[in-house]
Structure 1
């Protein structure tokens, strides 16, 4: 298995900032009373888990994926965020412990083994 340094593992999901913008846009349309029951982080995670990932490893790929998302997926993104807003409304009886800090890079997952990082793309999953 080929090993990679943490520095060589730079990849990002181009949908993340677009989904964040859409969540902010839709939250501005809600009443302050409704906002009390919605955690934006949960909305973002829920929506991202229902959209295809658009990962990029270069600036050119990043811009291409973002252009693709904004031109071809705008309605799909808006729908995913609307569904997320309904799905994640806070239940006062539900106990939820948020993840702490960024012990794992939020845009990549890797395992440390003898000071080297082994990339395991097949096993990478987001649990939000």
Structure 2
């Protein structure tokens, strides 16, 4: 026997059947949620196990890059060209990594965690 209840989808009051409870129809025991799954491959929202991730892989890579900068003494640079190592904060090239380190420590100390990343993070190295 159906009891007055509230629909989970539209919140309308009325005679609604519970999808999880077994009902007897033509002398057969039926569970509507199982029928929906078998016939139409519809999964109840309560059965879906979603894991929410706040960042895409690009943002995870950027966050990892910033954490490495924050908690270590690595020296970020954009690329190594024929002119030398290119500073990650500006586009000045230094043939010697020690010169790049002193330049970074003197000129970019306040900008250490404020690298403006381009779309391709593969351009940056440590």
Specify if TM > 0.5. Answer: no
**What is the TM-score normalised by the length of structure 2?**
0.24
Q: Higher relative contact order by CA 8 Å / sep ≥ 6: 1 or 2?
A: 1
Larger relative helix fraction: 1
Higher strand share: 2
Which of these two proteins has the greater Rg computed from alpha carbons? 2
How does the TM-score come out when normalised to structure 1? 0.24
